[in-house]
Structure 1
C-alpha cells in the first residue's frame, strides 16, 4: 500500500529515514512529506498557514496514481494534518495511523495562544519533560536539533477546519501510544476526557503500545515500522 508519512513540528521528510526501509521491505510504498516552509532553515515561513500544510498532505494523496487507497501516518501535530486530509479525501484513505498523536477536532489548534506576530517557532528541548524525551540520547537530541527547522507560526496558532461530512469517522485508525500508555488513553476515552474526544467519535479504532518517548522514529524506528505494518495488515 502507498503510505504517506507526515512529520510533526520542526521536522522534514528525513525524520522518517530510518522507518522507510522497513516499510518498503514489507512491500509497501512509503512517501515521506516535507511540508511548506519546512524545506530549509532559510525558507520563507511568513505566509505559511495550517491550511497549506493540510493541502500538501492532500496533494500527496492525489499524487498516488489511479484511485488506489492510501494509508496516512502522522506524528505529533502531523496527526491533525492527516486527519484533516482524510476529511478531504475519505474515499482515498484506507487507514490512518497516529504516532503518539491523534485526530484534531474542528476548531482545535496546537496552541491558539501562540503570539499572532510570531513568524516561526524554533525547537527548544528545554520545553519538554523527560518522559517526552525518553530514549532520546544526547547524541540523538543534538542531531535532531541540528537538523530542525523552525515551525511556521501560523501552523501553531491556527485551528483545523473540517467538513460536515463524517465519512472520515469510518476510516480504520490506529493510535500508537508512546509517551502515554495505551491503557491510560483507553481510560481517558472511558472518562469522556476532551483530550481524546475526537478519537472516541471514530467507529473503528485501536490503541497499541510502543513504549518510548514522543519521538519513536528516532528512538525505536524499526519497531515503529513494525507496528505500522501490523496495523495495516489488520
Structure 2
C-alpha cells in the first residue's frame, strides 16, 4: 500500500496511520513527493511530471505488475500526480483510495492564477487555511507539528495543467474516503458537473465511505482511517 499525502506534507504525515496498519500486518510505503523534501536544493523547480515519475518508481519498488497491482492512497493535493499515474499505468493499480480528495479531470490546474514568478507557496496561517480546508479534530500538538514540518509547495506543481488521455484510468476500482464533505454532497456535486468532483461521476466502480472529521484525518482519526484503508485494500477488485 503506497501512501501519498497532499500539499506541504511528506511521508512523515502517515506515521500514526502506519503504526495501526503495521500492527495489523500491512506493508506500507509512505512517500515524500519531489518538491516536498526540504533537503532537495532544487525542490522549488519540481513538477507534477517529476512527482508522477517518483510514484512510478515507488510502484516498481513495490514490485507492481499486472499480476500483482498495488493499492495507492492519495490525500488532498496528491490527486494530481496520482491521476497522471492512473492515466499512464492503470493496469498496475488494483485500487486507488482518495482521502478527502478525488480524481482530477484533464485540463485541471490547481492554481491557474498563480503568477509565473511564484517559486513556492508556503503553508498559510491557520486562520486562512481553515477557510479553505477544515481543521476539525486537529490538536494543538498536531497543528504545531504541521507548522514545524510543512515544506512549501513548488510553484510549477501549482501551475501545471494535468493532461489525461487514457479512459482506462476510469475503470480502476476506487474508494472515496469523505471527511470534510459528506459523501451524499460529493455525489450531488459530481452529478451536477462541479469542476472539483465531475470526474467522480465518470468512474466505473466507486465506493464512498464517510469518516466525519477535518481535511487531515491521518492526524484527527488515524486509527479509524487505518481501518478504512485496510478494508479498502482487502476488498476484491470490482
Same fold flag (TM > 0.5): yes
- TM-score tier by shorter-chain length is over 0.9
Counterpart contact for 1:181–1:209, Cα < 8 Å: yes
Is 2:158 the partner of 1:150?
no
Compute the displacement of 1:19 (Å).
Answer: 0.8
Please list, as runs of the form range in 1=range in 2, the aligned pairs for 1:13-162 lying within 5 A after superposition: 13-40=11-38, 43-65=41-63, 67=65, 68-124=68-124, 125-129=126-130, 132-162=134-164
The farther-off stretch of 213-222 and 61-70 is 61-70
> In 2, are the aligned partners of 1:41 and 1:149 still within 8 Å (CA)?
no
Any stretches of 5+ residues in structure 1 without a counterpart? none
For residues 119 and 64 of structure 2, what CA distance do their matches in structure 1 show?
Answer: 38
Q: Is the CA contact 1:86–1:93 (under 8 Å) kept in the aligned structure 2?
A: yes
- Asked whether the equivalents of residues 179 and 217 of structure 2 are also in contact (C-alpha less than 8 Å), the reply is yes
CA distance in 2, matches of 1:188, 1:10: 27
Residue 71 of structure 1 aligns to a residue in which SS? strand
Q: Deviations over 1:175-221 (max 9, x none)?
A: 11111111211222333333211111110001110111000111111
Query: Distance between the aligned counterparts of 1:46 and 1:214, measured in 2?
Result: 25
Aligned Cα RMSD in Å?
1.6
TM-score for the superposition, normalised by structure 1? 0.93
User: Does the aligned pair in 2 maintain the 1:123–1:148 contact within 8 Å?
Assistant: yes
Question: Runs (4+) of structure 1 moved beyond 3 Å?
Answer: none
Runs of 5+ unmatched residues, structure 2: none
1:104, CA displacement in angstroms?
0.9
Give the TM-score of the pair, scaled to structure 2.
Answer: 0.91
- CA shift for structure 1 position 66: 5.9
